[in-house]
Amino acid sequence: MKSEPDVHSFEHHLSLPDATDSWNGVRNYQARNYMRDGMKCGDRVIFYHSNTEPPHAAGVAEIVREAYPDHTAWDPESEYHDPRSTPEKPSWLMVDVRALRALPMPVSLATMKGNPLLEDMPLVRRGNRLSVFPISEVHYLEILRMGGLEDF
DNA sequence: GCCAACGTTGGC
DNA sequence: GCCAACGTTGGC
């Protein structure tokens, strides 16, 4: 899962009560479908910081609530407001995410691109703009190893 | 700041 | 249903 640290950093997420927050504001159908179909309670997540120098994997999180309606879509005051979404027929979904551990050594995108084990991961491929997408267990474990959390 | 990638919108 | 125009993302 990708987030701009200026907007919502991993450290901020860790500081919240129960280190848990809803992952609202996803307004892309493919990303929504990945949350709806691919995220179960207990699933582990790599928390990635985009639009920062350097872009990097920052920490590990887990899903603590499966997909449910994103109420920011029907809040006219919200920057994520989408008038097509209603409580009766929500267009957008969110999940709840608990931050678990910061990576002792954040793993930069450049480092990931240099690791042959990660060459098939969507994150290192050109033009990937999805904020939520699945990665394999091999990729997940390799990022943890590179980040100094191999025993976690 | 540039620009490639790619999703969305809307006229036809 | 096509596709040009436009907007957004995000690395560089």
A12 CB below 7 A from strand C atoms: no
A64 CA vs C2 C1’ separation (Å)? 43
A130, closest nucleotide (Cα–C1'): C9
Q: What is the pTM of this model?
A: 0.94
Q: Is the pLDDT of residue A133 over 90?
A: yes
- Chain B nucleotides with an atom closer than 7 Å to a protein C-beta: 4-8
List pLDDT tens digits, range A62-90.
999 999 999 999 988 888 989 888 888 89
Q: How far is residue A92's CA from residue A78's CA, in Å, rounded to a whole number? A: 14
Q: Which nucleotide is nearest to A48 (CA to C1')?
A: C10
Q: Closest residue by Cα to the C1' atom of nucleotide B8?
A: A28
**Mean pLDDT, rounded, for A94-101:** 98
* pLDDT score of A128: 87
* Strand C contact with A84 (CB < 7 A): no
Query: For chain A, which domains are there?
Result: 2-146 (3.10.590.10)
Instruction: Indicate whether A27 pLDDT > 90.
Output: yes
CB A55 within 8 A of CB A109: yes
**Which structure tokens are listed for A74?**
């029907």
Contacts of A45 by beta carbon, 8 Å cutoff, 6+ apart: A1, A60, A61, A62, A63, A97
Q: What is d(CA A17, CA A147) in angstroms, rounded to the nearest whole number?
A: 25
A2 Cβ nearer than 7 Å to chain C strand: yes
Distances, alpha carbon A111 to alpha carbons A44, A93, A142, in Å: 21, 32, 12
What was the pLDDT predicted at A76?
87
